[in-house]
Each structure stands twice: as structure tokens, then as C-alpha cells.
Structure 1
């Protein structure tokens, strides 16, 4: 197997793949909770007679509560391990689903949504980190993007659940939609207990013997396993040839809490600062470019375009879920071949075109009162095109990139901060879209998202170096600028 920047895509280790698939199941549950609310909101609004403002709160509270879950998950995963953090996330989802399925009032429904939101924060942080840490450099993009595939599957299942249960009596239908997620949550909690722990976390805790045993299972051959073990040991400052569990792990690696916060946020090295900017920036733009508006409120978009029947709106929304899933699957094939940087730049460029087209056709549809069939058709096509371009690049690269660029000591905290920013932007869009739609029209809102996408393209071009084929232990060096470089933009342009 070739090493370094030119590393080719090799066969996928079946054991590592199985571990990543199980870890990604937590993302299916999160995706389901997100997608199912799109249709459930229609029926919740009818039963409880709530305003648009309360509808926005119901949609966005999940992500506000994830702000608590993601940093907590980072710290938790550093203390008790990646595996048990997934178990905790599953249990939280189970509790949230039960409360939402019960939902006798709007207030209780919000409580259940908040509980599930904490689980979202845990899930979004831990699934890509675990997958990244068990995978080889040559297949890390594929395995680390599996949680995003899981989200897409979950969203599609949520949309299908909306369609299947929409014919039930009002008081029963949406409760089944929301409560049924408790079943896979329980199943996942049990399955996760049979997964191995991340070998990188085990080494960080001084459990070298266990780490070596697992590393041999998740690597394609003994040579690769030994290479990966040596790189991890070198990165945390212990003897590369030592396999004794009694080895002394440096205090700087074992220490948790305040010291890591200070080193990462207050006094970072130049390379760590660049990593932090890249990690936060990509999470910020993933949702600032408007994807949650389409995922949660696609029925509103289709209504403005001329689709007025609720059943038809939900059916058209299923097309959003199917498009998302199809292009996420395509991205998992491309990400280790094309590379993160090329994929995300192509993705955002396509999003700009699709959002501009969507804004244009929605303007024409509104002016005609939704009577022009061609504006309806083109509005649906550009909506699906936007979802396709988003999911072929920006969606998976966001999670792969942040899971791989942070050094081991800062990975849990760094990814947790990135997820917190991600959820904050998600909540901002989901809780303000209806208000923005009223203030500047739905078309104007999508023109705004197109403008933000242009800014995102510029940011990604200058701040995201290519990471394809690099080991996790090489990342900090990748983000180190040469002293002789004229500017950071010249240095970044080399990748």
C-alpha cells in the first residue's frame, strides 16, 4: 500500500467497515428525528393550533439543545471512551423519542425534542470521530462519511414515515411518527456494547496491549497496523517500540479539561489556530448556506411553487430525501478518489447556481400565483439540484474534515466545538426561516443563501488544504505554514 499524499484507494477492511456502520446507526436515528419533523409539524400545528413562531421553535429547539450535547460529548468521549459515548447517545435518543411519542401537549413535546437534541449533539460529534480513528488513511474518507449516509437514510425514512402515517387519525399519526424512533435506539445501545474501543483512545489512556490487538483487526495487514501504531505513539510522545501497558503516558496527553481549553482556544499554536478556523468555518457554512430550510420546510417551498395538497407536498418532500441519499452515496465513492478540497469546491459552486435558480423560479411562481406549470417544475428541479450538490460535497466533507484534522489530544474538544457551531447555525436557520420568508419573501431568502454560498466558496478556497491520503498524525504538519511563505494564501495554494 502506498503511503503519503499520493496514497491510492485500497480495499476496505471489513472489520473497520462493520464498526463504522454500527457507529453510523446513531446518525440514522438523528436523521429520522430531523426528517420526520418536517411532516409531523403540519399535524402538530393542526392539533395544538400553534403559531408560526411556535412552529419555528419546535423545529429549531432540537439543534439549540444539541449545543449542550456536542461539547459534553467531546469531554465524555475523552473520559469514558468513544464506544460508551455512542451508548449514552442511544439512551438519550430513546428517552426523547418516548416523550415525543407521548406528547399530550406542546410543552411536553418540546421537552422530548430537547432531550433528543442533547442526543443529536452526542451523535454528531462521536460517530465521525470513532469512524476516523478506526479507519486507514486510504479509506478514511469513505468510512468517516458513513455517518452522513446514515443521516440521509434517516431523513428519507422520516419523510416516508410522514407519508405512511399521514392517513391515520390526527391524534395518533404524528405521535407514531415521532415515537417509533425509540425502537432502533434500544437496538443500537445493545449492539454498540459489542464494538471495540478506538485504538487511538486506548493508547491515549496507556492501554497499549488492547490498542494493538484492535489495530491489527482494523488494518489490512500487520505492516499497516504497525505503521499506524508507531505514528500514534510518536504523536503523543512515547517510545514507538513499546507495547507494555505500564508505559508512562505524558501528563500533557492524559490531562483533561481546562488545560486543553486554554491550549486550543486561548493560546493555540499557529497550526492549531488554522485547524480551528478551518474546522469552525466549514461547520458554520454547512448550515449558513440554507440546507435546513429545505430539509424542514420543503413543504412550504413546494406550496409556494404551486403544490397545495398536503399529501402531494409530503410526496414531493420524499424526493428531497431520495436525492439526498443518492448523492451522499455517490460522495462516499468519490471522497477518497477526488479528494476533500475538489469535492467541496465543486459542491458549493453548484449550490450557488441551484440557489440562484430556485430564487428566480420561486419569484416567477409567486408572481403568477402558482399557476405556471413550468415554474413549478423548475422550482422542484432546482430544489433537488441544490440538495444534490450539497450532499455530494459539503455535507460529507464537513464531517470527514473536522474528524481528521484535529490532533488526538484536542480531537474530542475540537470536534465538539465544531458540532456546537454547526447546531447553532442549524437552529438559526430553522428558527428564523418562516420569519425571513415573511420579511423578504421565500425567493429573497434563497437569494440570500446564494450570497452566503459565494462567501463560503472563497473561504474554502483559501483555508482548506487537501487532506486526502494523510494519516491523522500528519495533519498538524499539513496545517503548518513555512516561515518563508509570503502569505497564508500562497502556502495554502500548494495543496
Structure 2
């Protein structure tokens, strides 16, 4: 990895999962946050008209989700260690459903904001725990591919949000945005049903000294009992259950993270730093405000603006599939280089196009300006999906030892959410 040498004790479960395995457990995640991102980017157009909110209220409504999700991320690490990885996902889904339902029926900005805050807390739980869960249950040989699955779901969520906006935009302004937001409940309902199918993380079970249950999970996802025993020993060694008392374990973890050794400091710099810089790229702002960007570029019709956002969502989803194919073949760092350079070029092109349109210099026709803006936004999200998007999930889950993983992932989410809110 360059910054950190991942030891053999950090090998993942090398059993075969549902992605081609002999005895598999299928795991999929529809990311509620990014479905919300896609929906809110278009719904806000009609919320402004229906509830007559100010520009400041619009900014609060859009930006508060990133900030308040910190609460979910901060408590997610401790919660996942207490009740388990999969039930932490369930808790996040329930809280998000409550928030989405309140937003759907909100009669005023104040009630809408309350629902938004609740949804943000639920999102914080889900964002923190998803990569941890996949890393702890996926085969080491394909962990890079599987750990980047949340990024696929993020992009599918954004695309579905955009499509939902376009599909319901023809309804009355009092109804359409409510249906758009209500659709966001569906992914979290799917998560609720999935909890009764997916297994608990065997690593968490071992940390709770429930070794028999962990062995049962490993039997379900492995080829034979010999492999199960070998992996179980690895997990026990990584969890430290053979040598450490559990009583002061959590305090020791936070002490190690907040007063790190040089090795842990390098892990934090890499794992948390990439989550911060992922948001500093402004990707959330690009997605949230893509309708505003296209409006400033010269597109007049709301329907045409929403159609352009569908193109953005489709591009983002297609290029994440390219990344999934390349991530374990090309490597993490080359894709990061390609991603950051490409995003820089596209953002410069977008800024140039909007400047030429705004000041009316006559250097380009309005149609060329619109085409250039759409191309730049699509290019920006494409390069993000090739590297910065999925590799953030992979690196932050691979780089930390098991004893630090949940809390360190929570710290990374905090940094990412703060950066997103500030941007």
C-alpha cells in the first residue's frame, strides 16, 4: 500500500461468498445517503416553489445532512462493537426511514429540517459500518473489489434519485417533491429485509467471544472445515481475544488513535486523509448542485435540467464499473493519480464554461457553452468514480488492524462529513 504494511494478521476471510462462491451469502447495499443526494438535488427546485424557502434555508437544508451525519458516524463505531455490524446497519435504516417519512409529509421548512436531521443521523451509521462489514466478511483475494461495492450502490442511488426526479417532475409542485423524497424510503426497507439473510461479521462474533457462532458463519462461506479452522485462528489472533482482557479494550483503542504511535499515525494519515480529500474535491457539491450548474450554463427548462442530471448519474454509475474491474488489477495508487488529474482538468473546463456564459463574451455560442458544461460535469464524476470514489472505501477499510477498525473508520467519516459540509 506504500504507507502501511498490512500484516498477515489482517488477512480477510478467504471464504467464498455469494459472488461466485460455492456456499455463499449474498450481500448488497443500497446507499440511502446518495439516493438522497440525487433526489434532493432535483427536489429542492420544487421545495423552493412550494414552501417558499429562502436561499439561506436552501443552503441549510442541503448542507446540514453532511454535518449531522457526524453524530451517526461518531456513535457508529461504539454501537457496532456493542450490538454488531449488521444490526448497526439496521438501526441506521430505521432512523433514516423515520426522517424520510417526516420529510415526505412536512408542511413547513421547520418540519422538513427535522426530518432531514434524522435522516442524516441514520446515514452516518450506514456510511461508517458498510465498508467495515464488507472488509470483515469478504475474501482477501477480492477484498478490493467487494469493499468498493458501496461505491456502486452510491452511484446507483444517485442515478435512481435523478431518474425519480425526472419521472415525477410533471406532477404538481405540491406533490412531486414529496414523492421524490418518499421514494428514498425504499432502499432502507430493502436493508431491513436483508438483515434477516446476511450473517453477522465473524470477526465481531470472535471479539464477543462467540466463537461457535463465528465458526458457523465461516462454515457457510468457506469450502471446507480445514479452511474454517485456519481462518478462525487468524481472526482470533487479530482480535486479540487470546491475550487481551476486554474490560479496558475500548479506552485503549481510543488512546491508541488519539495518541498514536508513528505506525498508527501513518495509518490515520492515509485512511482518514483520503476521506477528507475525497470531499474536498467538491464531488457532493457537484452532485447536489448539478441542476443549478446546468441552469447557470443556460438550460432553461426544469425538465431538461433534470434530464441532464440523469446523464450525470448514468455516467457516474458506468465508470464505477470500470473501476471495479481495474482496482485489483491496476492497483490503488495509479487509479488515484488518474482520478485526481482528470477531475482537476474537468473542473477547470467547467469553471471556464460557466465564466464564458455568465459574462457573455461572445467567444462561444450558448449551445456550445451548455454542451461544454454537461461534458465537464460528466467527466468530473467519471474520473471521481474511476479512483477517488471506490478507493476511499477500500483503503479506509484495509489499512487499519481489526482492533482499531470500527473507531478509526468512524474518525475517517467524521473528517469526510466535516469536509463535505464545509465545501
TM superposition score normalised by structure 2:
0.91
The residue aligned with 2:103 is 100
- Partner deviation per Cα, 1:51-97 (whole Å, 9 max, x = no partner): 22111111011111101000111110011110111110111111011
Instruction: Evaluate the alpha carbon distance shift between residue 350 and residue 11 of structure 1 in structure 2; reply closer, same or farther with a 3 A threshold.
Output: farther
Instruction: Evaluate the alpha carbon distance shift between residue 175 and residue 19 of structure 1 in structure 2; reply closer, same or farther with a 3 A threshold.
Output: farther
The residue aligned with 1:131 is 134
Residue 282 of structure 1: which of 269, 274, 283 is its match? 274
The residue aligned with 1:296 is 288
Report matched runs for 1:242-391 at 5 Å.
250-251=244-245, 255-266=248-259, 268-368=260-360, 371-391=365-385
The residue aligned with 1:236 is 239
Whether 2:216 is the aligned partner of 1:213: answer yes
Report matched runs for 1:72-221 at 5 Å.
72-219=75-222
- Partner deviation per Cα, 1:237-277 (whole Å, 9 max, x = no partner): 45xxxxxxxxx6621x56454332112112x1211111111
Is residue 346–residue 379 contact of structure 2 (8 Å, CA) maintained in 1?
Answer: yes
1:227 CA displacement: 3.9
Instruction: Evaluate the alpha carbon distance shift between residue 371 and residue 86 of structure 1 in structure 2; reply closer, same or farther with a 3 A threshold.
Output: same
CA distance in 1: counterparts of 2:349 and 2:184, whole angstroms: 36
Which structure 1 segments of 5+ residues have no match?
239-247, 430-495
The residue aligned with 1:13 is 17
CA distance in 2: counterparts of 1:212 and 1:16, whole angstroms: 21
CA distance in 2: counterparts of 1:237 and 1:38, whole angstroms: 45
CA distance in 2: counterparts of 1:372 and 1:80, whole angstroms: 56
SS of match in other structure, 1:292:
helix
How many residue pairs are counted as aligned between the two chains? 409
Instruction: Evaluate the alpha carbon distance shift between residue 223 and residue 229 of structure 1 in structure 2; reply closer, same or farther with a 3 A threshold.
Output: same
Whether 2:414 is the aligned partner of 1:410: answer no
Is residue 16–residue 221 contact of structure 2 (8 Å, CA) maintained in 1?
Answer: no
1:394 CA displacement: 0.4
Instruction: Evaluate the alpha carbon distance shift between residue 375 and residue 221 of structure 1 in structure 2; reply closer, same or farther with a 3 A threshold.
Output: farther
TM superposition score normalised by structure 1:
0.78
Please give the root-mean-square deviation of Cα atoms over the aligned residues, in Å: 2.3
SS of match in other structure, 2:140:
coil
CA distance in 2: counterparts of 1:47 and 1:12, whole angstroms: 51
CA distance in 1: counterparts of 2:153 and 2:256, whole angstroms: 33
- Partner deviation per Cα, 1:394-419 (whole Å, 9 max, x = no partner): 00110111112111111111001101
CA distance in 2: counterparts of 1:387 and 1:20, whole angstroms: 28
Which structure 2 segments of 5+ residues have no match?
1-6
Is residue 15–residue 217 contact of structure 1 (8 Å, CA) maintained in 2?
Answer: no
CA distance in 2: counterparts of 1:202 and 1:16, whole angstroms: 25
CA distance in 1: counterparts of 2:318 and 2:97, whole angstroms: 28
SS of match in other structure, 1:104:
coil
Instruction: Evaluate the alpha carbon distance shift between residue 180 and residue 278 of structure 1 in structure 2; reply closer, same or farther with a 3 A threshold.
Output: same
- Partner deviation per Cα, 1:472-495 (whole Å, 9 max, x = no partner): xxxxxxxxxxxxxxxxxxxxxxxx
Instruction: Evaluate the alpha carbon distance shift between residue 13 and residue 276 of structure 1 in structure 2; reply closer, same or farther with a 3 A threshold.
Output: same
1:234 CA displacement: 2.4
